[in-house]
């Protein structure tokens, strides 16, 4: 990111991009349009959910003193497994999962006990601000790709 954001600014940007995703998927349209080679718009939502749920779980576990159980494996494996995991979920179920993850993040991300959050097993820990920046950019990139296909 070119601009240096404060924690509150990047948190707001992250919240807003998640809301933009929710608003897009709340439309009554066909989500089977191909966005990437093998992924439909629904698959992209499943992918976003995979990472957002992991983020929420890691934050929750850190705050509550639980053992971390971050996503494991190569990024491409995690991505494919996440899409498969949610294949049978409806759009509404995926939206609700995303909302729940965001609520957990919002309730916990400002807790002082959180010094570092892993992105996946074996990665370095990121500060809450860094993690929010990564999540914001990640989701924004996918949403921009979706918008291009649904013009």
Task: Give tens-digit pLDDT for 92-149.
Answer: 999 999 999 999 999 999 999 999 998 888 888 999 999 999 999 999 999 999 999 9
Mean pLDDT computed over every residue of the chain:
95
pLDDT at position 119: 83
pLDDT at position 2: 67
For residue 80, with 0-12 CB atoms within 10 Å meaning exposed, 13-18 middle and 19 or more buried, which class applies?
Answer: middle
Domain 7-149 has CATH 1.20.120.450: yes
Per-domain residue ranges of the chain: 7-149
Residue 15: how many other CB atoms lie within 10 Å: 15
DSSP 112: T
pLDDT at position 23: 98
Higher pLDDT, 24 or 4: 24
Q: Strand, helix or coil at 62?
A: helix
Question: How much is the average pLDDT of 44-52?
Answer: 97
Band the pLDDT of 80: cuts 50, 70, 90.
very high
For the question of whether the overall pTM of this predicted structure is more than 0.85, the answer is yes
Is the model's pLDDT at 1 over the cut of 90? no
């Amino acid at each position: 990111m070119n601009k240096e954001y404060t924690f509150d600014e990047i948190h707001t940007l992250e919240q807003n991009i998640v809301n933009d995703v929710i608003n897009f998927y709340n439309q009554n349209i066909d989500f089977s349009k191909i966005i990437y080679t093998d992924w439909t718009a629904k698959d992209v939502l499943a992918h976003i959910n995979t990472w957002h749920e992991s983020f929420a779980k890691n934050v929750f576990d850190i705050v509550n003193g639980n053992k971390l159980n971050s996503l494991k494996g190569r990024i491409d494996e995690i991505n494919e497994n996440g899409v498969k995991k949610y294949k049978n979920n409806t759009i509404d179920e995926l939206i609700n999962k995303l909302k729940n993850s965001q609520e957990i993040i919002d309730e916990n991300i400002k807790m002082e006990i959180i010094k570092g959050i892993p992105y996946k097993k074996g990665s370095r820990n990121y500060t809450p601000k860094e993690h929010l920046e990564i999540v914001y950019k990640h989701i924004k990139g996918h949403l921009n790709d979706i918008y291009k296909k649904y013009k």
